[in-house]
Structure 1
Amino acid sequence: MKTDNARTLKIDIRALGYDSGTRNRKSGENPAFEGLDYRYMFENSYDAVVVAGKAGNIQACNERALSFFGYVDAAEFDKLTLHALIAGMTDSLLGNVAAVVQERRYMRMQAFAIRKDETFCAVEIVVMGTRKEASDAICYMIRDIQARHHAEQTLLSAFHAMDNTDSSIGIVDLDGKITYANRKMISMLGDGDESRVVGRQLATWFDEEEVIKPMLEAVMKGEKWTTEMKVGEAGGANYLRLSVVPDINEDDQLLGMVISVVDVTDRRRAELAEYQLERDRVMMESLSEACHAIGQPATVLLTSIEVLKDTPNIDAESRRQVEDMCYAAVLDLRQCLKDMNAARMSVKGSMAGGHA
């Protein structure tokens, strides 16, 4: 039910926890009731106790009610109706309250109290009838739950944020069983079927030795744990990043762990593409250097061979010098080829290490 101030009213109707015989029991039958100051108990019960008629007119209240609602003058407070004190209170709801009380049941409501300064406070209200069945009076026992309401709203906001994040998030107990999974995790691991994820063991998807055991060991020590793993064959492989933190309650007791699973395939593919570009650049530079290194001894060798071919009557000393130049050029070429092969093997080894 919505009020004009968009305040929500929650209602729970339950039977009384005693029968009519108990209701008619006299306090004098138990000596413990003798000498009790019922007036004192009434004045200091709950955060506020208000007695109102079936139409909502205030008939009585305890002292705490005045303080809770921010009133000083009791006469001013008595002129009010419940419509002015409880957001969402309507004549129709008052009629329902009267009907519930008539049936010897009680009503528990969560609503917002309206204070004199027009501020709102989350409250829980227990509504009960009086002992006199013909009485018009109905008792409203009001308890301040603003702190609890704030905590619930914070938890609800956190739940919605976690349930709608792009990361797959789950809660796992110490036996490795998933007790909660957000929408993304259900979609990733169960194709949208919650029953295929919640209640299942992590070992259903992840290797026991490589993932589950080291993960649990870290969590038992109260430490975070992260790894990246490849899923699938080389042609259609995906990469997942698993991050785990211990789930610890307010008493510092380890309950399990919170796991996050993120598909990092796009990032890894981008890294591989960048690595390939860098590798190609290095190879081109190496090839250019190799060509330059080979060029000089190759030129010397070619020129020397041409000299020997074009001058068949060259003297012995000149021939020996030209042959020595050819031999030195061949040695230089052999060394260049060795260096090129070593560079190729180095690049191949770094590629294997980078893609492992």
Structure 2
Amino acid sequence: MHSEPPGERDALREKIIGLGETSLHKSYYPELQRRLAELERFRALLDQTHDAIFLIRAETGRLADVNASAKAYLGYSKKELLAMPFTDLISPQQKARFVEFVHKISVLPSESRQTWTAPLVSRSGTEIPMEITVRSVTFGGEQYVVAIARDITERIRIEREIRIKESALESSTNGILIADLTGAVMYANRSFAAMFGYEREGTIAGRNLEAFFADPTVGEKVTAHLLDNPAIVQETVGLRSNGSPFHIQISGSVVQNDAGQPLCIMLIVMDITERILTEQMKRETYTQLGKNIEQFAILGDHIRNPLQVIVGYAEMIDDPFAAKILEQSRRIDDLVTRLDRGWVESANVRQFLRRHGDGAKPPGETFFRFSNLKEEDR
């Protein structure tokens, strides 16, 4: 206005063109710079993450943006990725199901999130197993789908190893029991359940070790020993669910973490009833053999005593039959001598078996072997 003083007109002009102290340009530009700096920092963080991040236009399915990890995983440039639909990156076997999955996501409320597992195909054709978290978002009135893909190759390998180990535990013919450090059972395989007369392995979990031994104190002693020693081998008497005892051998050890701290106790149990019965039968056989040998020796003496009398009388009489009696007496004495040699040899065999046999122990006898003993102490 011409009526305004010249000074006010100059101040208004400088404010409009951005030269004044309170110009619109000077008040907006620092805020813009700050926002751009925040955006750059956020973009740098996205590029540093190991997860591949894809921004997908919901209407066309084409990629609107990707982070650096997506380019690194797939081997494409950003320009190449932005020129293709996201579904071109999905394994052909999973593509149709994934499209249906994304369609369901797009009709859900904004910010809803779902997870899908599918391989992404790299530029070289390699399929990378991914866990893809998908969510629907809206920017500036346009709907997008954000897909965050995490490489689960290592997780799949570990899960496969765990399944193999679990299968090995389940298929073992020996009973396997895992308990916590207080002796409470955490896991038992099928063989253990069958050995101890339980219908299902699940019914064993939560029980204490003492429930599986005829002598309840054995479970407590085994637990206490393993907390101070790396391993134990013990023969003892187990107790089935119906209360019947049977002979078992347990091999126990402590499972530790990477720092060497104890995590749990693992016991491998074998039913040795047949072996114990065989050893008992051997002991009874050795005992009976000894008795038979002693009887043979006594019987020989009993035969020789009357035989000496017969020989004495035969030598005293003058009769043609005396020579015949003496001849038969010598034959009897020879047979008895051969029996003597036989029982002596049997006694030697018996002693040899005792010295070099299996060293059977009486039924129910318990013994310990500790893995931390020195060789000369074993």
Q: TM-score range by the shorter chain?
A: 0.5 to 0.7
2:252 is equivalent to residue 244 of structure 1:
yes
The one-letter code matched in structure 2 to 1:62 is N
* Equivalent residue runs for 1:110-125 within 5 Å: 110-125=117-132
1:216 to 220, 223, 246: 223
Change (3 A) 1:33 1:164: farther
Mapped to 1, the partners of 2:133 and 2:246 lie a distance apart of: 56
The answer to whether the Cα contact below 8 Å between 2:279 and 2:361 also exists between their aligned partners in 1 is no
Change (3 A) 1:269 1:133: farther
Q: Which structure has the larger Rg over C-alpha atoms? A: 2
2:153 is equivalent to residue 149 of structure 1:
no
1:311 match: 316
The answer to whether the Cα contact below 8 Å between 2:183 and 2:220 also exists between their aligned partners in 1 is no
2:27 match: none
2:52 is equivalent to residue 44 of structure 1:
no
* Equivalent residue runs for 1:142-291 within 5 Å: 142-189=149-196, 191-194=198-201, 196-207=203-214, 211-231=218-238, 238-270=246-278, 275=282, 279=286, 286=293, 290=297
TM-score normalised by length of structure 1: 0.67
2:6 match: none
Question: SS of 1:200's equivalent?
Answer: coil
Change (3 A) 1:131 1:278: same
2:62 is equivalent to residue 57 of structure 1:
yes
Farther-moved stretch of structure 1 (298-307 vs 192-201): 298-307
Q: Please, which runs of 5 or more residues in structure 1 have no aligned partner?
A: 1-27, 314-328
Q: How many residues align?
A: 301
The answer to whether the Cα contact below 8 Å between 1:46 and 1:142 also exists between their aligned partners in 2 is no
Residue 80 of structure 1 and its aligned partner are, at CA, apart by 3.1
Residue 262 of structure 1 and its aligned partner are, at CA, apart by 2.0
Change (3 A) 1:58 1:289: farther
Mapped to 2, the partners of 1:209 and 1:42 lie a distance apart of: 60
What do the CA deviations read for 1:48-74 (whole angstroms, capped 9, x no partner)? 211123353223212321111122x43
Change (3 A) 1:121 1:284: farther
Mapped to 2, the partners of 1:69 and 1:243 lie a distance apart of: 50
1:294 to 284, 294, 300: 300
Question: SS of 2:154's equivalent?
Answer: helix
TM-score normalised by length of structure 2: 0.64
Change (3 A) 1:155 1:110: same
Residue 219 of structure 1 and its aligned partner are, at CA, apart by 0.9
Q: Please, which runs of 5 or more residues in structure 2 have no aligned partner?
A: 1-29, 319-332, 364-378
